[in-house]
Structure 1
Amino acid sequence: MSVHVFDKELPAALARAQNLPSLPAVALEVLRISQDEDASLDDMASCLSRDPALAAKLLKLANSSLFGGGKAVTTLQRATMLLGMKTVNLMALSFSLAGSLQKNGRLGSFDFGEYWHRSLVNAIAARSLARLVKCPQSDEAFLCGLFGHFGKLVLARCLPDEFEAMLAEAGRWPSPEQEERGLGFRSTDVCATLLKSWHLPELLYVTVGSWSRPTELAQLADPAQRQLAQLLALAHLAEVILCEADKGDALARLQQAMSEQYGVSVNELDSLLMGLEVGIKETAELLAIKLPDGTSHEDVLEQARQQMMSVGLDTFVDLAAAQRRNQELESEKKVLESRASIDGLTGLPNRAAFDAFLEGEVRPRVADSAPHGVGLIMLDVDHFKRFNDTYGHQVGDEVLRRVGALLQRMTRKGDLSARYGGEEFVVVLPRTTPAALAIVANRLRKAVEDESLEVNGQRLSVTVSLGAVSVPRLESAAAAAALLKLADQCLYQAKRKGRNRCEFALRPEPPARS
């Protein structure tokens, strides 16, 4: 036999266990009366009066800070009228079931004292949060909080070996995620299954089964179930703050969630957390539970704040270091990219950058076949080998640097000057006309000729030969190679005709494919 809750299958051993908890007789009767549409408050009071211990607890509850504050309540009838049928039902179920369970000692590694302390914190926090945000299911929140960890107790009793093994690996109070990794299901699944088998309202067992799974919680169709499960998850954060050593992260998450979901300020939340102390003590007295000795909630909250600030500072420092490292990596990346696309000698874009730029200009023109002209100039330093042979490579390098600097100064925004290789340079002029291209080419030639370069007091004459081509539109993806070939042919003609001159191919039609 297997027991199912939602999409989880619990072990058959758990379903067959002889020591599974059951509802006490008075709780069953309370549940029956609550489901009877014709039942009255007197019927409920009569039922409760048959269990003096439970009746005394409900009288104390009616006079506690959780519900009272006015005239003293001395009769069970008055208590049921003050609390209401729903509250009496839920509180009676809570108290009767809690009264039937062990309160102190250990079961293997399972600590009953810690279990009840956490359960009380959960219950009071869930109810207080519900009341703060005006959720009408504050009493349901109390019951769900009180039995939010009930599944752990059941596992400790019914599957002691498996639970002990999981505790040994995960620690004394495993998280729902650790339970699922160790057992294949969560203790909240166990609790939800039992609550469902006892025919408790769907709101209760769905809430208990969903609060630890954010994805399932967000997909709940019933708004009441969804809000109650959300509040139980927030109450769990309050439990972590008040019961665990590492509390700063939980406080930060609770502050953020309450602010974003309900507009609750930090001060309002602080007041709520400190106010839980009274309700927890009163409920512990009602249920005869001994709370652990410890610091006040105000001191615990201060510890949480200090941890949160410490974590925030550490996170800030880590984030700043990470940002600096990212900036360094980005700078290094830019340097590497720059080195990959920039000629080291002249500082101009290199051959690879030129090829990419020209391709980027050709592709869109071919795609839209629009009549955007493009010009290309290829220039070569005349008799460059003579500079190297006569004056040395340092002088030759300086000649190339001077030509490169001049091209950079004279290139218009949107144009590209690049070192093509050796003593050759190229200039790309997008959106130009034949007449404009001719003007630019002649200006470049003249500017190089007028550039002053002296070596050991001797003025060197530096000139360039240029081949320039301009076409009104491009119709082929091979146009880039065709333009280069045509410009190179023009350059060759300029050298043949005596150097220090420009030769042009100012075509009215696109160049032929190469």
Structure 2
Amino acid sequence: MNAPEYAEKASEIFVLSDSFIRIKELIDNESSTIDDIADVILLDPALAGTILKLSNSSFFNYPGQIDTISKAVLIIGITEVYNLVIAYFTTKAFRKIKADPEYLNDFWERSVDCALTVKFLGTKLSVPNAERLFILGLLHNLGELVMHQFMPEKVETCKQVNSDELPWTKQLQSFGFSYADVTAELLKQWQLPYSLIEPIRDQDDEDFEHSTDETKLLYIAKRVMTLNHECKSHDPSAVITDDKLDSLAVQKELLRDASDFCDMERLSILAVLNPSACMLY
């Protein structure tokens, strides 16, 4: 089976709920009002609670209190609320996976770290609406969960990388495709926006000539996260080369600051999206 076939098979197991589909339809409909969107969100108390918790977190750093969904949509914007809806229903969909809780906790910690890193870098580099980058990092590696559902032993083998190996290269050797390929195909199955699919599909592309800034930032953020998790013993320059950092004027000090930011914010995000992971702390 190839990446699209695995993604199609996974989409039959990991399904986004009817509530998500309804919210997506409203957001895509230009005639919908803020109240229309808020009313559908309120039908799912857990979703509404998640959006309010994240809206009031230091992640958005809003100086006042956001106490209603309508206010959340108004203050942080429809796109950001949509991204929070995607985050909520994605983590909910993958609760059906057959996997050890410790493995899942580690997976979501890595995903949140990538999400926080890409958001931090985008903010410091003055990328417009940098908060939207968070969802790229959070979803970037869902293909790993897909492959774990069908070939858990092979996924576990791919996680064991030597100091001269890179995880995504080992994935290509093992499967003939990377987790990024499967992730992009799954997001297509879910009919998520192309603005999410493209950077995730191209996250391992070494040729930056035609890459968007979002793709470049995700490329770098993923590698920063990997150095802090799977590739701790690697030479950093073998994972992220200076020319890639120079293409976005990213200083190494900024990467250290990004890691510090993850350490500060990780727990608050995990507490909302994957509470069981907080047991690690």
Instruction: Give the TM-score taking structure 1 as reference length.
Output: 0.49
Q: Indicate yes or no: 2:171 matched with 1:182.
A: no
* Structure 2 residue 104 is matched with structure 1 residue 128: no
For 1:83 and 1:46, how far apart are their aligned partners in 2?
A: 17
Residues 112 and 270, structure 2, Cα contact 8 Å, conserved in 1: yes
Which residue number corresponds to residue 167 of structure 1?
A: 156
Distance 1:71 1:266, change over 3 A: same
- Deviations 1:253-274, CA, capped at 9 Å, x for gaps: 6583575233344444433321
Quickly say closer, same or farther: Cα 1:284–1:103, change in 2 above 3 A: farther
The corresponding residue for 2:26 is: 33
For residue 213 of structure 1, what is the aligned residue in structure 2? 205
- Aligned partners of 1:85 and 1:267: how far apart in 2? 34
Task: Quote how far apart the aligned CAs of 1:68 are.
Answer: 2.6
Letter matched to residue 168 of structure 1? T
Give yes or no for contact 2:15–2:93 (8 Å, CA) kept in 1.
Answer: no
Secondary structure at 1:192's aligned position in 2? helix
CA distance in 2, matches of 1:18, 1:196: 10
SS at match of 2:119: helix
Q: Return the alpha-carbon distance in structure 2 between the equivalents of residues 116 and 99 of structure 1.
A: 12
Deviation at 1:85, TM superposition (A): 0.6
> 83, 99, 109: which is aligned to 1:117?
109
1:21 lines up with 2:21 in the alignment: no
How far did 1:101 drift? Answer: 2.3
The offset of 1:183, in angstroms, is: 1.0
RMSD of equivalent CA atoms: 3.1
Could you say if the C-alpha distance between residues 28 and 289 of structure 1 is closer, same or farther in structure 2, counting changes exceeding 3 Å? Answer: farther
Taking the aligned partners of 1:69 and 1:128, their CA distance within structure 2 comes to 16
| Superposition map of 1:43-54 within 5 A | 43-54=36-47
Counterpart residue identity of residue 53, structure 1: A
The yes-or-no answer on 1:10 pairing with 2:23 is no
- Report the CA distance between 1:248 and its aligned residue: 6.0
Alpha-carbon distance in 2 for matches of 1:121, 1:39:
34
Q: In 2, distance between residues paired with 1:93 and 1:37?
A: 19
| Equivalent residue letter for 1:64 | S
Q: Deviations over 1:393-442 (max 9, x none)?
A: xxxxxxxxxxxxxxxxxxxxxxxxxxxxxxxxxxxxxxxxxxxxxxxxxx
Matched-pair contact (CA < 8 Å) for 1:117–1:291: no
CA distance in 1, matches of 2:137, 2:59: 15
Deviation at 1:43, TM superposition (A): 1.5
Deviation at 1:246, TM superposition (A): 2.1
Q: Distance in 2 between matches of 1:261 and 1:232?
A: 13
Task: Describe the shift of the 1:292–1:234 C-alpha distance in structure 2 as closer, same or farther (beyond 3 A).
Answer: farther
How far the C-alpha of 1:192 sits from its partner, in A, is 0.5
Answer yes or no: is the 8 Å Cα contact 1:103–1:289 preserved in 2. no
Q: Is residue 201 of structure 1 aligned with residue 193 of structure 2?
A: yes
| TM-fit CA distance, 1:35 | 0.8
Structure 2: give runs of 5+ residues left out of the alignment. Answer: none
1:203: how far off?
A: 1.4
Contact 1:27 1:97 (C-alpha < 8 Å) held by counterparts:
no
Query: Could you tell me how far apart the structure 1 residues matched to 2:246 and 2:206 are?
Result: 16
Q: 2:71 aligns with which of 63, 75, 78?
A: 78
Q: In the TM superposition, what is the alpha-carbon distance from 1:245 to its structure 2 partner?
A: 5.4
Extract unaligned runs of 5+ from structure 1: 3-8, 221-225, 295-514
Aligned with 1:102: secondary structure? helix
Whole-Å separation in 2 of the counterparts to 1:153 and 1:202: 21
State the 1:33 CA deviation. 1.5
- 1:237: how far off? 1.8
Match of 1:154 among 133, 140, 146: 146
- In 2, the alpha carbon distance for the partners of 1:251 and 1:292 equals 33
The structure carrying a bigger helix percent of its residues is: 2
CA distance in 2, matches of 1:169, 1:286: 29
| Counterpart mapping for 1:470-489 below 5 A | none
Question: Contact 2:110/2:229 (CA < 8 Å) preserved in 1?
Answer: yes
In the alignment, does 2:53 pair up with 1:64?
Answer: no
Distance change (3 Å), C-alpha of 1:17 and 1:199: closer
After superposition, the Cα gap between the structure-2 partners of 1:252 and 1:63, relative to the gap in structure 1 and judged at 3 Å, is farther
Q: Name the SS of the counterpart of 2:94 in structure 1.
A: coil
1:280 counterpart residue number: 266
Q: Does 1:262 align with 2:240?
A: no
- Correspondences of 1:216-227 after superposition (within 5 Å): 218-220=209-211, 226-227=212-213
Determine if the alignment matches structure 1 residue 92 to structure 2 residue 81. Answer: no
In the other structure, the counterpart of 1:271 is: 257
Give the conservation status (yes or no) of the 8 Å contact 1:59–1:73. Answer: yes
Taking a change above 3 Å as real, the CA distance of residues 103 and 115 of structure 1, as seen in their structure-2 partners, is: farther
Does the 8 Å CA contact 1:54/1:95 hold for their aligned counterparts? yes
1:290 aligns with 2:280: no
Q: CA 1:52–1:87 in 2, change beyond 3 Å: closer, same or farther?
A: same
- Mapping 1:379-418, distance limit 5 Å: none
Asked whether the equivalents of residues 116 and 289 of structure 1 are also in contact (C-alpha less than 8 Å), the reply is no
Q: 1:151 to 1:78 in 2, by over 3 A?
A: same
Larger Rg: 1
Contact 1:91/1:139 (<8 A) preserved: no
Query: Which secondary structure does the structure 1 equivalent of 2:223 belong to?
Result: helix
Give the length in aligned residue pairs.
Answer: 277
Choose between structure 1 and 2 for higher RCO, CA contacts under 8 A separated by at least 6 residues. 2
Answer whether contact 1:30 1:93 (CA < 8 A) is retained.
no
Q: Give the percent of matched residue pairs that are identical in Structure 1 and Structure 2.
A: 21
Give distance in 1, aligned partners of 2:134 and 2:89: 14
Whole-angstrom CA distance in 1 between matches of 2:240 and 2:80: 27
Distance 2:142 2:73 in 1: 27
Return the offset for 1:194: 1.3
